Amino acid sequence: MSVVILDFGSQFTRLIARRFRELGAYSVILPGSAPLDRILRENPQGIVLSGGPSSVYDEAAPKPAPGVLDLDIPVLGVCYGMQYLAQQAGGDVKRAGKREYGKADLTQYGGQLFEGIQGEFVAWMSHSDSVTQLPEGYEVVAQTEDTPVTAIENRETRRYGVQFHPEVVHTPKGGQLLANFLGICGVTRDWTAEHIIDELVSDVRTQVGDGRVLLAISGGVDSSTLGLLLARAVGEKLTAVFIDHGLLRLGEREQVEAALKPLGVNLVTVDARAEFMAALDGVSDPEQKRKIIGREFIRAFEREARAYGPFDFLAQGTLYPDVIESAGGEGAANIKSHHNVGGLPDDLAFKLVEPFRTLFKDEVREIARLLGLPDHIRMRHPFPGPGLAIRCLGAISEEKLDILRRVDDIFISGLREFGLYDGCSQALAILTPIQSVGVMGDERTYSYTAALRAVTTDDFMTAEWARLPYEFLATMSNRIVNQVHEINRVVYDITGKPPATIEWE
Ligand SMILES: Nc1ncnc2c1ncn2[C@@H]1O[C@H](COP(=O)(O)OP(=O)(O)OP(=O)(O)O)[C@@H](O)[C@H]1O
Ligand SMILES: O=c1[nH]c(=O)c2[nH+]cn([C@@H]3O[C@H](COP(=O)(O)O)[C@@H](O)[C@H]3O)c2[nH]1
Ligand SMILES: NC(=O)CC[C@H](N)C(=O)O
Ligand SMILES: [Mg+2]
């Protein structure tokens, strides 16, 4: 039993599934045009029609397959989905005089979807079309100042629509609304992280069969958790490979080896420092750096496959944000090529095993907890595969990496010492190419500027800059300038994501 989410190209479709997972309900995302028999195979108790960039009155507007809306189960249309429901039932949709983007307050609401919800309701909007004429049998159950038809329902046919996005965190009471929809569908909410693990294990077994798997492991949360999952799924057929590309932090190689040993994975460490440094020599463009790193990772895995292989499969701890930022979503833009997705070379000879490809970091952490990953790995801040190369802006050199390593170590150790590490989701130091004038010991200096960045976030798709105490920042600035003589200026990044991203390249 499940809820089927039909995807019409919204950026947020995965978030609908994620909210259902949080509510303990199992859901499946299928393409908007999935045929009826494909949908029926999922035994749906309800259907969600997602948002999307099209307008329902466009010639080529995507539609659910014939028969889908004739099923006698509840249907919730979100944004484009609601507009489609309204149009299909005989209502009308037009480009509205007033578009709504961002937060809007519902001026009134009621009805089944809003049952039990009280007080103000902030709804996150992203639309330029509106339902201008209600179809027969429907009533309006919510309004905003600009949009008279913000939510609709037809109790008899159990068709519901919302113009806003209940699935995003900026609609704080959206979870309750989605829970109400699950209630209307009669969904039993017993889908847990244990179920997800069982399902992932069985999917991996089906995919891998008798094949052998090379696991790309970094000592980070995602690949370490994947190590435990794969050990359960394929056992002996697994070899974990950790690449030291010369872009790691101070002492990281030894720390990772020590941390992974007790997990019982069969670990091989590869020294590929010379290859990475040679390939990155003189390269300053961020995308080019990322592509080269993606390629060099694969070349290093291929070399190991010749030594320890053959391997049919390459397993990576890829998460959904890596995919969507690398333009892996329906119509999504390429923000940056993550080395493990957009940075992969075209001639990849391995088949990829990426069980976490649809999940977010906090969900992987929950899986990690159940699989018994120690907390010091589970709660570690993420560290990107391209490592210090994308934090040393412009062309890298051994000298610059060494400077950055020392700055990073002071900052991260400082966060731990002051008890601030766990309060941030990720912290990093950046070595900028800016040189500026300073005065130290009565001497003129002309040295580099280091930037510090710390953010808070759940899913790494959006983030706030962390409000670290001034005293702490002052101490960090002091220590860095005193201990790293190549730095004479320290700045703190006070930009969120969006508009910035977490890494600087
Ligand atoms: N040094 C490395 N050696 C081998 N594989 C790596 C290395 N760095 C990254 N990878 C691979 O790339 C994937 C993506 O890296 P990413 O940093 O997003 O995940 P992670 O390192 O597992 O977890 P975290 O996000 O907590 O750092 C990893 O899951 C891993 O499969
Ligand atoms: O393994 C990785 N390979 C990459 O190429 C990569 N680029 C960014 N990141 C990490 O992804 C999260 C979001 O980062 P951005 O806001 O900079 O896009 C943050 O946690 C980043 O550290 C990467 N991780
Ligand atoms: N986010 C959406 O689903 C948008 C639907 C439609 N394109 C509109 O602008 O109204
Ligand atoms: Mg990492």
pLDDT in tens, 218-253: 999 999 999 999 999 999 899 999 999 999 999 999
* 28 half-sphere exposure, CB direction, 13 A CA radius: 16
- Whole-number Å distance, alpha carbon 115 to ligand 3 midpoint, is 25
- Measured CA to CA, the distance from residue 299 to residue 315 in angstroms comes to 15
Asked if the model's pLDDT at residue 370 lies above 80, the reply is yes
Asked if the model's pLDDT at residue 170 lies above 90, the reply is no
User: Ligand 3: which residues within 6 Å by Cβ?
Assistant: 10, 51-55, 79-80, 126-129
Please, what is the Cα angle at 201 between 198 and 203, to 5 degrees? 105
Q: What average pLDDT does this structure show over 448-469?
A: 92
Ligand 2 atom 12: the closest Cα is on which residue?
460
- Measured CA to CA, the distance from residue 217 to residue 221 in angstroms comes to 10
Q: Domain 193-378 sits in which CATH superfamily? A: HUPs (3.40.50.620)
Q: What is the SS3 assignment for 286?
A: helix
The CATH code for residues 2-185 is 3.40.50.880
- With a pLDDT cut of 90, the percent of the chain lying above it is 82
Ligand 2 atom 10: the closest Cα is on which residue?
384
Asked if the model's pLDDT at residue 297 lies above 90, the reply is yes
Nearest to 265 by CA among 114, 181, 371: 371
Nearest to 77 by CA among 10, 28, 156, 173: 10
- Whole-number Å distance, alpha carbon 341 to ligand 4 midpoint, is 13
- Whole-number Å distance, alpha carbon 300 to ligand 1 midpoint, is 14
Ligand 2 atom 5: the closest Cα is on which residue?
338
Name the packing angle between helices 221-234 and 193-208 (round to 10°).
Answer: 60
CA distance readout (Å), 229 to 207, 224, 232, 322, 426: 14, 9, 5, 20, 24
Judge if 2-185 and 193-378 fold alike in CATH terms: yes
Two tokens, residue 448: 């580099």
**Is residue 178 within 8 Å of residue 20, measured between CB atoms?**
yes
pTM: 0.81
**Is residue 20 within 8 Å of residue 180, measured between CB atoms?**
no
| 322 Cα nearest atom in ligand 2 | 11
Neighbours of ion ligand 4 (CB under 5 A): 218, 220, 383
Residue 189, amino acid: R
- Measured CA to CA, the distance from residue 363 to residue 55 in angstroms comes to 33
pLDDT at 181: 98
The CATH code for residues 397-492 is 3.30.300.10
Q: What average pLDDT does this structure show over 200-215?
A: 96
User: Ligand 2: which residues within 6 Å by Cβ?
Assistant: 290, 321, 325, 336, 338-340, 382, 384-386, 426, 460, 497, 501-503
Q: How many CB atoms lie within 10 A of CB 274?
A: 10
164 phi-psi bin (left φ>0, alpha ψ -120 to 50, beta other): beta
- What's the pLDDT tens digit per position in 123-158? 999 899 999 999 999 999 999 998 999 999 999 999
Return the ligand number nearest the Cα of 368: 1
Q: What is the SS3 assignment for 369?
A: helix
pLDDT at 332: 53
- Measured CA to CA, the distance from residue 31 to residue 123 in angstroms comes to 26
Peptide bond into 382 cis (omega under 30): no
| 165 Cα nearest atom in ligand 3 | 1
Kindly state the DSSP code that residue 425 receives in the 8-state scheme.
S
Return the ligand number nearest the Cα of 493: 2
Two tokens, residue 44: 């749906």
Nearest to 123 by CA among 167, 62, 76: 167
Which residue's entry shows tokens 């790193």? 293
- The residues annotated with a catalytic role in the active site are 79, 165, 167
> Which residues are documented as binding site for ATP?
218-224
Nearest to 193 by CA among 370, 44, 54: 370
- Measured CA to CA, the distance from residue 175 to residue 160 in angstroms comes to 16
- With a pLDDT cut of 70, the percent of the chain lying above it is 99
- Measured CA to CA, the distance from residue 131 to residue 93 in angstroms comes to 4
- What's the pLDDT tens digit per position in 62-105? 999 999 999 999 999 999 999 999 999 999 999 987 778 888 99
Q: How many CB atoms lie within 10 A of CB 99?
A: 14
Q: Which helix (H) or strand (E) holds 353?
A: strand 351-353
Q: Is the CB of residue 216 below 6 angstroms from any atom belonging to ligand 1?
A: yes
Q: How many CB atoms lie within 10 A of CB 48?
A: 27
Q: Which helix (H) or strand (E) holds 144?
A: strand 139-144
Domain boundaries, the chain: 2-185, 193-378, 397-492
* Strand partners for 463: 497
- Whole-number Å distance, alpha carbon 411 to ligand 4 midpoint, is 18
Kindly state the DSSP code that residue 468 receives in the 8-state scheme.
-
